[in-house]
């Protein structure tokens, strides 16, 4: 079993990183995307606006 951490700038980079593991190494791959505190602070106001827009 092995683990590695990759800093991806956007979710569309995940398949580029994971695909060689699936096909080339026949590996079982589990992904656990996380956000830094700074990323979370940036997205919270946007998420609140979007959540409120679904109410009406």
Please report whether residue 25 resides in a domain.
Answer: yes
> Is 6 among the domain residues?
no
Say if 1 falls within a structural domain.
no
17, part of any domain: yes
Is-above-0.85 flag for pTM?
A: no
What is the structure's pLDDT at 56?
Answer: 62
Number of domains in the chain: 1
Write out pLDDT tens, residues 8-48: 888 888 888 888 877 878 777 788 888 888 888 888 888 88
Q: How far apart are CA 14 and CA 23, in angstroms?
A: 14
Question: Is residue 5 a part of any domain in this protein?
Answer: no
**Among residues 13, 12, 11, 30, which one has the least CA distance to residue 21?**
30
pLDDT value of residue 39: 84
Q: Is residue 48 part of a domain?
A: yes
**Which structural domain, as residue segments, surrounds residue 19?**
11-53
- Cα–Cα distance for residue pair 49/36, rounded to 1 Å: 21
Q: Answer whether 29's CB lies under 8 Å from 18's CB.
A: yes
pLDDT (0 to 100) of residue 2: 77
Q: Is residue 28 part of a domain?
A: yes
Angstrom distance (rounded) from CA 7 to CA 27: 20
Whether 41 maps to a domain, the answer reads: yes
């Amino acid at each position: 079993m092995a683990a590695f951490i990759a800093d991806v700038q956007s979710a569309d980079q995940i398949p580029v990183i994971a695909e060689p593991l699936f096909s080339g190494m026949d590996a079982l791959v589990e992904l656990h995307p996380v956000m830094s505190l700074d990323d979370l602070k940036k997205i919270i106001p946007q998420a609140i606006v979007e959540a409120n827009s679904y109410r009406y």
